[in-house]
């Protein structure tokens, strides 16, 4: 076993609550709450959910005891991991890690929840497993170099996420270091996710993440049963580092392992769009409020981004000026800027209001993007942006180095809870929302994870002559 594989496997297999600082444990619980809230809203509102759930049902992935967040029925562990992983990512509202350019929770938490349901693990076991998954996934992406990985057409949340999911599930299966290495070797053959979805707004991006969660769970399960995975999955000649990036730095996967907690560098999104758009949206909110800018006043908007972000949300400009659906909108800086200038912010329900709206699209076409040296200088430590707005009243400019929600500008507890309530509130009664939030924030104290997840199911209430679900 080579050094990166050996040390990551040993770390993931041995992590426990005793080895993790209390603030890291609490931050992970906050990330779990955020993940569950997003997944619940996505179950009801994401365009891709009905087809995904139907497909999983046709494939026989229903009928088990595991919870798909927001669904009345039980599913198999694989089905729950697949659907919950996709739901967690389908609103593009999930947490991010800047230097690795990925979404840590979306593949990790669903795999860990499914594994906990399978094994009967309690919250004290669950949270360390999730943190082990975060650390594995994030460090692998940093070792690859996320920009290089993107340039090869890969989606790091998915490609790296399958290893993180395997680490989290493997810890809950009590794999030893040798077994964990086998799980990584199995996960290597399941590491996938193409950025081609950007061409037509395809639903494959959230599927990547659900697939990573399911495959990580599968890899850990197979390793637990003695199935042999490829040796040296990270450093091997055809291993992850060499196959997925031109100039990897494997030492980045190990630097500070077990001492420096990348989990604490994870950000929570305040807006349901690609994280690369958020600094610019913060800047526009600031300029709009300070200068009383109205949409009709705007002559033009210039957004400067780090080049990696510009390639994703700014290019090609013609397509970004004409989003045809939610996914297009999530990855269009001009669209997100237009909504922000009209609304003073952005929430999930804005997609229904603004996709296809004539006034929004007119404003969208006045927004232009380009790589910016100042934003590039902050990358990858910060996903920064500059916004320059020319109006009939004057010209204004703002630079945001650290977008809202980043560790250095983290959401206050009441802001995090407001985000959760806004996502979950339309589909659960207030008392259930309160109970679910409280138990998720203290999930490390829970004995039965399945019981907590069942709180996400629709609440049936008696109505004269019929039985309906609250919120429907």
Is the CB of residue 270 less than 8 Å from the CB of residue 329? Answer: no
Report the pLDDT value the prediction gives residue 463, as an integer from 0 to 100.
42
Report the pLDDT value the prediction gives residue 201, as an integer from 0 to 100.
83
Report the pLDDT value the prediction gives residue 43, as an integer from 0 to 100.
98
Task: Give residue-wise pLDDT tens across range 201-220.
Answer: 899 999 999 999 999 999 99
User: d(Cα 220, Cα 119) in Å, to the nearest integer?
Assistant: 12
Task: Give residue-wise pLDDT tens across range 366-424.
Answer: 999 999 999 999 998 899 999 999 999 999 999 999 999 999 999 999 999 999 999 99
User: d(Cα 342, Cα 101) in Å, to the nearest integer?
Assistant: 29
DSSP-assigned letter for residue 153: T
Listed in sequence order, the residues at least 6 apart from 425 whose beta carbon sits closer than 8 Å to its beta carbon are 433
Average per-residue pLDDT for the chain: 95
Strands 395-400 and 385-391: antiparallel
Percent of the chain scored above 90 by pLDDT? 94
Other CB atoms within 10 Å distance of the CB of residue 267: 25
User: d(Cα 261, Cα 163) in Å, to the nearest integer?
Assistant: 17
Q: Which of 468, 455, 460 is nearest to 40 (CA)?
A: 455
Q: Which of 303, 437, 323 is nearest to 367 (CA)?
A: 303
User: d(Cα 375, Cα 362) in Å, to the nearest integer?
Assistant: 27
Q: What is the chain's length?
A: 472
User: Reduced to 3 states, what is the DSSP secondary structure of residue 36?
Assistant: helix
Whose tokens are 């399945």? That residue is 450
Query: Taking the CA atoms of the chain, what radius of gyration do you get in angstroms?
Result: 22
Task: Give residue-wise pLDDT tens across range 186-196.
Answer: 999 999 999 99
Lowest average pLDDT, out of 97-101, 317-321, 437-441, 464-468, goes to 464-468
Confidence category of residue 459, pLDDT binned at 50, 70, 90: confident
Residues facing residue 62 across a β-bridge: 75
**What angle in degrees, to the nearest 10, is found between the helix axes of 77-90 and 105-119?**
160
Is the CB of residue 57 less than 8 Å from the CB of residue 49? Answer: no
Report the pLDDT value the prediction gives residue 2, as an integer from 0 to 100.
65
Other CB atoms within 10 Å distance of the CB of residue 405: 23
Show the domains of the chain with their CATH numbers: 3-267 (1.10.4100.10), 275-404 (3.30.1330.120)
| pLDDT(465) > 60 | no
Listed in sequence order, the residues at least 6 apart from 236 whose beta carbon sits closer than 8 Å to its beta carbon are 2, 230, 242
User: Reduced to 3 states, what is the DSSP secondary structure of residue 234?
Assistant: coil
Mean pLDDT of 353-364: 97
DSSP-assigned letter for residue 130: H
Q: Which of 240, 155, 145, 221 is nearest to 192 (CA)?
A: 155
Confidence category of residue 464, pLDDT binned at 50, 70, 90: very low
Mean pLDDT of 130-149: 96
The strand ranges marked E within 101-251 are none
Q: Which of 193, 210, 188 is nearest to 4 (CA)?
A: 188
Task: Give residue-wise pLDDT tens across range 16-50.
Answer: 999 999 999 999 999 999 999 999 999 999 999 99
Whose tokens are 């560790």? That residue is 407
Buried b (16+ CB within 10 A) or exposed e, 36-59: bbbbbbbbbbbebbeebbeebeee
User: Reduced to 3 states, what is the DSSP secondary structure of residue 399?
Assistant: strand
Residue 63 dihedral angles phi and psi, to the nearest 5°: 85, 5
Task: Give residue-wise pLDDT tens across range 424-453.
Answer: 999 999 999 999 999 999 999 999 999 999
Give the DSSP letter string of 58-97: HTT-EEEEEEPTT-SSEE-HHHHHHHHHHHHHHTS-S-EE
Other CB atoms within 10 Å distance of the CB of residue 257: 18
Rounded to whole angstroms, what are the CA distances from 239 to 14, 232, 242, 247, 326?
24, 7, 6, 13, 35
């Amino acid at each position: 076993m080579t050094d990166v594989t050996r040390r990551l496997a040993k770390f993931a297999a041995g992590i426990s609550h005793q080895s993790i600082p209390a603030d890291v444990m609490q931050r992970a619980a906050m990330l779990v709450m955020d993940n569950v809230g997003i997944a619940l809203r996505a179950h009801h509102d994401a365009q891709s959910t009905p087809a995904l759930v139907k497909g999983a049902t046709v494939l026989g992935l229903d009928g088990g005891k595991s919870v798909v967040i927001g669904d009345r029925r039980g599913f198999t562990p694989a089905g729950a991991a697949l659907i919950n992983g996709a739901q967690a990512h389908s609103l593009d509202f999930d947490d991010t890690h800047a230097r690795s350019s990925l979404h840590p929770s979306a593949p990790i938490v669903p795999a860990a929840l499914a594994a906990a349901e399978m094994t009967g693990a309690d919250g004290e076991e669950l949270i360390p497993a999730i943190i082990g998954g975060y650390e594995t996934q994030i460090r692998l992406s940093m070792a690859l170099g996320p920009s290089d990985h993107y340039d090869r057409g890969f989606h790091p949340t998915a490609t790296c996420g399958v290893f993180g999911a395997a680490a989290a599930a493997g810890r809950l299966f009590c794999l030893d270091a040798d077994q964990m290495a086998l799980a990584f070797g199995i996960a290597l053959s399941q590491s996938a996710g193409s950025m081609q979805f950007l061409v037509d707004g395809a639903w494959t991006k959230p599927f990547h993440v659900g697939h990573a969660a399911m495959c990580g769970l599968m890899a850990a399960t197979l390793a637990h049963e003695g199935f042999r995975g490829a040796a040296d999955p990270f450093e091997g000649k055809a291993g992850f580092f060499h196959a997925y990036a031109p100039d990897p730095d494997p030492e980045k996967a190990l630097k500070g392992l077990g001492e420096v907690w990348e989990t604490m560098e994870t950000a929570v999104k305040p807006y349901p769009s690609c994280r690369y758009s958020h600094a610019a949206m913060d800047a526009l909110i600031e300029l709009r409020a300070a200068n009383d800018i109205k949409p009709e006043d705007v002559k033009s908007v210039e957004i400067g981004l780090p080049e990696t972000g510009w390639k994703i949300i700014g290019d090609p400009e013609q397509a970004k000026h004409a989003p045809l659906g939610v996914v297009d909108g999530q990855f269009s800086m001009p669209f997100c800027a237009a909504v922000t200038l009209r609304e003073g912010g952005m929430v999930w329900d804005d997609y229904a209001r603004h996709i296809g709206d004539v006034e929004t699209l007119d404003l969208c076409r006045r927004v232009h993007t380009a790589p910016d040296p100042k934003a590039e200088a902050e990358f990858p430590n910060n996903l920064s942006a500059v916004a320059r707005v020319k109006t009939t009243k004057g010209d204004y400019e703002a630079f945001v180095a650290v977008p809202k929600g980043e560790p250095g500008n983290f959401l206050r507890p009441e802001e995090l809870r407001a985000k959760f309530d806004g996502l979950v509130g339309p589909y659960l009664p207030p008392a259930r929302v309160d109970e679910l939030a409280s138990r998720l924030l203290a999930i490390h104290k829970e004995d039965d994870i399945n019981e907590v997840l069942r709180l996400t199911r629709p609440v049936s209430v008696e109505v004269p002559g019929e039985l309906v679900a609250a919120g429907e």
